[in-house]
């Protein structure tokens, strides 16, 4: 519905119009018509279907939260994984559990396999405010080689990730070959070491 301009982001449900109602009618199974056929707009239809299908009790909230916090990207595409997390965030919002984008970003980054670690650390090092849409977009656009090669992944996140030792982009001081070499040299020259 978002693609058709029929989604109300503020309310996190379809817009209150007849066109959104029609889209819902086309999307649901025949046995669901009874819940929405007499309603006038998409927002009312959405609310009726949500009331019928979603249990809003504490046990359901806990179950949805557990599934979210335990989610892992193990198979499928990154697009599918991100879509599942965003859908779960919206479901929780309908259940009166409003998780901010920062929490969903943390869950998303935590759910990634170890081959994404350099990217996750790079975002942490940059220290910028992240937006969920930006993180998802960056993950979708990454090539597998970017995920495996830490240096390239660091550059993909931000040009600000420069070494404080040599000033070059692509690594940080702790990984700087010059710093490591100089540190070894200092130990050789130090009489106390």
How do beta strands 7-8 and 13-14 pair? antiparallel
Which pair of structure tokens corresponds to residue 122?
């790079």
Residues 145 and 174 in one domain: no
pLDDT at residue 128 in the model: 66
Residues 187 and 120 in one domain: no
Rounded CA separation 92/78 (Å): 21
- Say which residue, 61 or 175, is predicted with more confidence: 61
Residues 105 and 152 in one domain: yes
Domain range spanning residue 176? 163-193
Residues 169 and 156 in one domain: no
Read off the pLDDT band of 33 (50, 70, 90).
Answer: confident
Out of 30-39, 106-115, 123-132, 146-155, the most confident range is 106-115
Residues 104 and 123 in one domain: yes
Which 3 state secondary structure label does DSSP give 169?
strand
Rounded CA separation 108/104 (Å): 6
The alpha carbon of residue 13 and the mean position of all alpha carbons in its chain are separated, in whole angstroms, by 20
Residues 112 and 186 in one domain: no
pLDDT at residue 191 in the model: 61
Domain count, the chain: 3
């Amino acid at each position: 519905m978002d693609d058709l301009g029929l989604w109300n982001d503020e309310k996190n449900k379809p817009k209150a119009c007849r066109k959104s109602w029609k889209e819902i009618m086309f999307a649901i199974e025949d046995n669901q018509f009874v819940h929405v056929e007499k309603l006038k707009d998409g927002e009312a239809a959405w609310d009726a279907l949500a009331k019928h299908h979603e249990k809003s009790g504490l046990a359901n909230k806990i179950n949805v939260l557990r599934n979210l916090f335990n989610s892992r990207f193990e198979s499928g595409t990154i697009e599918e994984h991100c879509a599942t997390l965003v859908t779960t965030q919206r479901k929780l919002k309908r259940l009166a559990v409003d998780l901010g984008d920062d929490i969903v970003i943390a869950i998303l980054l935590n759910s990634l396999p170890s081959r994404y670690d350099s990217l996750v650390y790079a975002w942490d090092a940059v220290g910028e405010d992240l937006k969920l849409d930006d993180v998802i977009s960056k993950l979708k656009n990454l090539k597998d080689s970017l995920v495996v090669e830490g240096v390239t992944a660091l550059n993909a996140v931000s040009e600000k990730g420069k070494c404080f030792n040599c000033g070059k982009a692509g690594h940080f001081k702790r990984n700087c070959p010059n710093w490591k070499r100089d540190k070894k040299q200092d130990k050789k020259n130090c009489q106390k070491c």
